[in-house]
Every structure is written in C-alpha cells, then in structure tokens.
Amino acid sequence: MNIAQHIQRGQLLFPDKIALIFEDNYFTYQQLDQLANRVANGLRGLGIQKGDRVALFLPNIPVFVFCYLGIQKIGAVAVSLNVMLKSDEVKFILNDCSANTLITTEELSKNVPDWDLSQLEHILIADGRSKKGINLEQLMASAVPKACAVEMERDEPAAIVYTSGTTGFPKGATLSHGNIISNMYSKNRCCGMHSDDRLLLYLPLFHCFGQNAILNAGLNACATIVLQRRFEPEKVLETIANQGITMFFGVPTVFIKLLNMDTSGYNLKSVRYYFTAAAPMSPEVVQQWQKRHGCVIHEGYGLTETSPFACYNHDLKYKLGSIGAPIENVEMKIINFDGKQVQPGELGEIIVRGPNVMLGYWNRPIETAQVLKNGWFHTGDIGTMDEDGYFYLVDRLKDMINVSGFKVYPAEVENVLYTHPAIAECAVYGAPDPVKGEIVKAKILLKAGFAITQEDIIAFCFEKMASYKIPSAIKFIDSLPKNAMGKVLKRILREEELSIAS
C-alpha cells in the first residue's frame, strides 16, 4: 500500500478531470500525478531514500500538494511544519526528526536558521529565490514525469505531524500509511464523498485536518479540491458561489464568523454538506446555522494522533451536541482514573483504539508509553457516552489551550517567557473567548528593579513563537496560587477568568 496510489488511480480513471484548483491555476489528475512524479524523481536524484524525513515548511499553495505526494511515492516521510513557526521552533523540529531535506519558500526561508542543523543536507525553494537552497522548479524540470509509488507496509511511517507537548517541546505524531489510508476511506464513507464533489480547502495543509480529512480524502474520492491560501470570509463565500462548492469543512470559529456576516448576497445553495472538527462546537451555533441555511453541521472528533478522524455525528442518526459514535473499525470508551470503563452518562477520559491510532511520537518512547497503553490511545479529553453509544466532549484533562482549533500548551509559552531577563515567574493559561473558543493569557511576576509593559512582553513573544501562541493579555501580579508542592494551580486561574466572564 501507499497513500499516493490514490492520485495514480485518479489519473488512470479520470486523467482529464480537474483535481486541484488554486486561484487561476487548474490541474488535472494526470497533471497532478506527473508533477508529483517529477518531485519524486527529483528527490531521488538528490539521494533521498525510503524512510528519510523530508520537511514541508509551506503555505497552502499547489507545491505543497505536489511535494507531499512525491515524498509518499518514494516512501520517504513527510514532516509538516506550521508556517507560523519562528526560527528556534523550526530548528527544534528539523533536528528532532533528523530531516535531511527541507522544502520551503523564499519568504519562509528567513525563519530557517543557518546554524545547528546537523542533519539537513538540502533546502529546496519552491516559491521565489533564495541563496539558501536549490530552486525546486528547476529540479522538477530536469526530472522525468513518470514514477510509480513504492509498496509500503501498513505500519511503515508516512507522515510526522507535530503537536505541542506538555513539557513545552513539540512531539512528532508518526502516522503510518495504514493509519492515513484507513482514515481516507472512513472519511469518504461517512461524509458521502464522491467524484462529483468539489471540496473547499482553506484550512492549513500542515494540519492533520486539512492534510488528511480533506486533501487525501478528496483525492481518494477523485473529487476536485479548491485550494485557498487561508480563511478569508468574503473570498470563501465568493468561491463557494463561483466554483459550485459542494462540501464545506471548517472549525467552529469559521462558522461563528460566517454567522456574524450578512451572507444574503452570496449563493451558497451548491453546498450540500457542512462539517466541523478540531474544537468543540456550540449547539447554539449549529441551530443558528441550520435555521439560516437549512443544513446541519456534522461534527467529527479526533486528534493528530488519530490521523485525525475517530468519531462522527453521524450518517445514521444526527444528535445535536454530540461528537457522534466511533467510525468503522475504531473503538472508543470512557474510563475513570483507575482505568475502568464507566457507565453511560458518567464522566471519564476518552480513549481510542483502531487502525487510525498513530505509531507513536517520533523518537519519544517515554511520551508514547504515557498515551498508548495496550493498544488504546489515551486522549486526555474528558467526556461522556449515552445509552446509544454517542459521545459528548466535556472538558480536557490537560492544561492545553485550544485557540481556534490550534493547540497551545502553557509550558511551551512559559519556556519562552522565562528567557526574558525581567521575568521572575509566570503562569500561562486559557481563558474563554466567544469567537476563538479560548485565548492565551499570562500572569507574570517581575524581577526587582524591572519595569516593563504588556506591549514589551508581547513584542518579545512575536520574535520567538507563532502568533496564535502569544498571550493576548498579560497581568503583572505579586504572587501566584500554588499547592503545597509549589506547583502553580492553573485551575484557580481559569476559574478566576470564568468568574470575570460571567
């Protein structure tokens, strides 16, 4: 098996069918396959072999698709980097996965350090020109457009998608060909995705949602993918009307923003299916959407570690407020802190088992063992299950902050804050936000003799981390609530924010 066999099947069955649309560029299945083949052969010419890690530090542009598919064809491992990462964050991930090749753009190459990347041998520049690397277009032009995807075993790695860790360092969730292929077919079946569909893809391709649940699933169904650089509300609405989009995927904040707009001037009747995931969806938003547009918003649940699709609401019976029931071949249950399954209606941790569960965290056996136990992935999410086997997401065990579907761990932000010479102590936590779900906040104790402002701290953070991780509000205080062991009680900080909000 090989993920890229879906593009090969598409070019055999529908060579002249449009596979990908980006701005004014149209690519048929045959053209897309040939471009992927050129990437595959170009990488082979550089000495890239099966199992090598090739990093993609790319925005939502067609080159991401060509390169991802070309990497899969030769059996290498595609490593996705968030385009909002800064130099230190990029360096950490490239060294952590021992990537020997990086594909990026001239603009993003500015965030690729020139030092301490001992394993990196090649930098390919896909958009623009840079003294740092090889021009990808020239490499592809000199490569032949014929290649066949190598056969891979089910449990051989295909992709590494990094997710932030509770220790403050990102962990690479390693997904196999079997993981992703099983998820593609489940997505096709649950959503009723077929070759006549046109899928809008503005969610980031570096994220598991955009990469697997939309791009790979869409290509597997031989559908048409309409790619956009990012979510821009007016452009999204225009594209739906102009391109006859039939399937629309988003995170809750997207639907909230669209509900707060006057969409009466846009024809959205072509959309037959709406889907949300990556963060909890308010039932009130779903009801408002259904009242205005006459369609439910189907909800999915999953994590990067589950490829990401694990649970779906639902092809047999839709239940408002539920994340649904497990997809085929996947099991889910709720357990208590003793590891025992609880009764319907009782709170506990959601755990998942199935062909979608990752191989583990790249080169992190201790962290892997903490979440993979007897084949079950322990999500760290709190939920319940009803008598019909439908699940409901309630809360999180961890301190993770969910900003518009992007996961932020406080320790990661705190590690950066502690590098500031004026900061003696800090605590980062999530606060409720009506649009983003949560925002990042920080409370800081300054060292004696220092006087700085909130703006100074935020400007400092902008140089060190992706924008969605940066605290939107900072409060300078004299002490932090702690337990007897000296651990900061984040729970109290969150409760204070909830009391202010109410």
For residue 145, what is the domain's CATH number?
3.40.50.980
Please say if the pLDDT value at position 395 is more than 70: no
pLDDT digits (tens, 9 = 90+) for 464-474: 899 999 999 99
> What is the pLDDT at residue 479?
87
Please say if the pLDDT value at position 26 is more than 50: yes
CATH number for the domain that contains residue 242? 3.40.50.12780
Residue 24 included in any domain: no
Residue 216 and residue 138 share a domain: no
Please say if the pLDDT value at position 326 is more than 80: yes
Residue 387 and residue 451 share a domain: no
Mean predicted confidence (pLDDT) in 224-243: 96
Residue 214 and residue 126 share a domain: no
Cβ count within 10 A of residue 122? 17
Say how many CA atoms lie within 13 Å of 254 toward its Cβ.
23
Residue 170 included in any domain: no
C-alpha to C-alpha distances, 155 to 98, 206, 339, nearest whole angstrom: 20, 22, 27
Residue 366 and residue 287 share a domain: yes
> What is the pLDDT at residue 279?
77
Residue 204 and residue 147 share a domain: no
Residue 351 and residue 246 share a domain: yes
CA nearest neighbour of 437 among 466, 463, 413, 472: 472
> What is the pLDDT at residue 497?
82
Residue 168 included in any domain: no
Q: Report the C-alpha gap between 209 and 38 in whole angstroms.
A: 26
Verdict on whether the full-model pTM lies above 0.85: yes
Domain end residue (candidates: 342, 374, 396): 396
Mean pLDDT of the chain: 93
C-alpha to C-alpha distances, 272 to 199, 255, 409, 459, nearest whole angstrom: 11, 15, 36, 44
> What is the pLDDT at residue 396?
67
DSSP bridge pairs for 429: 441
Residue 10 included in any domain: no
Q: Report the C-alpha gap between 430 and 497 in whole angstroms.
A: 9
> What is the pLDDT at residue 415?
81
**Which SS3 state, helix, strand or coil, does residue 402 take?**
strand
Residue 258 and residue 327 share a domain: yes
pLDDT digits (tens, 9 = 90+) for 137-194: 999 999 999 999 999 999 999 999 998 654 567 899 999 999 999 999 999 999 999 9
The more confident residue out of 324 and 396 is 324
> What is the pLDDT at residue 484?
45
Domain count for the chain, please give it. 3
Q: Is 366 exposed, middle or buried (0-12, 13-18, 19+ CB in 10 A)?
A: exposed
Please say if the pLDDT value at position 486 is more than 60: no
Please say if the pLDDT value at position 485 is more than 60: no
| In the block, residue with structure tokens 């029931």 | 325
Residue 390 included in any domain: yes
DSSP secondary structure letter of residue 447: P
CATH number for the domain that contains residue 436? 3.30.300.30
Residue 362 and residue 407 share a domain: no
Residue 422 and residue 364 share a domain: no
Please say if the pLDDT value at position 131 is more than 90: no
Q: Report the C-alpha gap between 432 and 393 in whole angstroms.
A: 16
pLDDT digits (tens, 9 = 90+) for 52-76: 999 999 999 999 999 999 999 999 9
Q: State the residue range of the domain holding 355.
A: 198-396
Please say if the pLDDT value at position 239 is more than 50: yes
Q: pLDDT grade, residue 494 (50/70/90)?
A: confident
Among 116-120, 185-189, 198-202, the least confident range: 116-120
Mean predicted confidence (pLDDT) in 396-419: 82
Residue 206 and residue 80 share a domain: no
Residue 210 included in any domain: yes
Angle between helices 233-243 and 252-259 (to 10 degrees): 90
> What is the pLDDT at residue 426?
87
| Structure token digits, residue 490 | 């984040």
Residue 267 and residue 287 share a domain: yes
Q: Is 193 exposed, middle or buried (0-12, 13-18, 19+ CB in 10 A)?
A: buried
Residue 407 and residue 391 share a domain: no
Residue 487 included in any domain: yes
Residue 92 included in any domain: yes
Domain end residue (candidates: 396, 430, 450): 396
